[in-house]
Amino acid sequence: MALKRATIFVSGDAQMAGFRGFVKKLADSLEIKGYADNLPDGRVQIVCEGEEKGIEELINSIKNKAPSLSKVEDLQIEYEDYAGEFADFERRGKDVPKKATLDDLLEVMKSFDNKAEKMVGVLGGINKNTEKMLEKQDTTIGILKSVKEDTAQIRLDTAQIRLDTAQIRLDTAQIPGIVENTGRILEHTAYIPAMREDIASIKTDTREIAAKLWEKYEEMSKEIAQMKITLSKIEAKVFS
């Protein structure tokens, strides 16, 4: 297998995100030598040497399996001849001191502070998204409760309309008997002029009552039909 050397420039959000540690662990598993370093312009530089297949696998993993806190936007790759320059793979940068001096430790602590601030920002975004989801859930529950209450009221109103309709039917059924009794009264009082006028008035009133009752019956029938349509739409919305 041919040995190669590659210099990779990673653009995006890759610094202070555990990216160099990810690359080192991956390079060690593939027996690749070299280093990963943070550049001042925000990019990460990776210089690596090893078998060509291993380097390609390293590049594919950087593209597709980078740490969740990092974001790889672009890779610039330059291939060179293998030089055998490195004994292992290492992380480089101000936050990776070679000697445990006080200044080096301070740089490491500053790096940790930056990473902690970045983690707090990520957690804050997650918290805001969770609050929005809870607000939407509360709104949905409120709508469902309102629909349930409206449906219950419509059912009560429909039941009352049915009772009123039944009563109207009973009242309407009595109209023929009233007319028949009126006719009998006319037969028995044909010779009483004074009572004829009263009977005629009673007959007229009876007909008016019958007409009003029939109009009421038709009106209630239309309302029942409309309530059924409304109830069907609400039930379809609730259980869809």
Average pLDDT estimate for 64-92: 93
- The residue with greater pLDDT, 226 or 148, is 226
* Selected catalytic residue, list 5, 38, 91, 207: 38
Residues 6+ apart with CB under 8 A from 203: 179, 182
Report residue 63's pLDDT band, with 50, 70 and 90 as the boundaries: very high
Backbone φ and ψ of 64, nearest 5° = -110, -15
- The residue with greater pLDDT, 232 or 240, is 232
Task: Reply yes or no on whether 114 is catalytic.
Answer: no
pLDDT digits (tens, 9 = 90+) for 193-233: 666 677 677 788 888 887 888 888 888 888 888 888 888 88
Give the pLDDT score at 192.
58
Q: Would you say 55 and 32 are in contact if contact means Cβ atoms under 8 Å apart?
A: yes
Q: How far apart are the first and last CA of the chain?
A: 62
Task: Reply yes or no on whether 169 is catalytic.
Answer: no
Instruction: With a cut of 70, say whether residue 117 has pLDDT above it.
Output: yes
Which class is domain 3-93?
alpha beta
Per domain, the residue ranges of the chain are 3-93, 143-239
Average pLDDT estimate for 133-143: 76
47: helix, strand or coil: strand
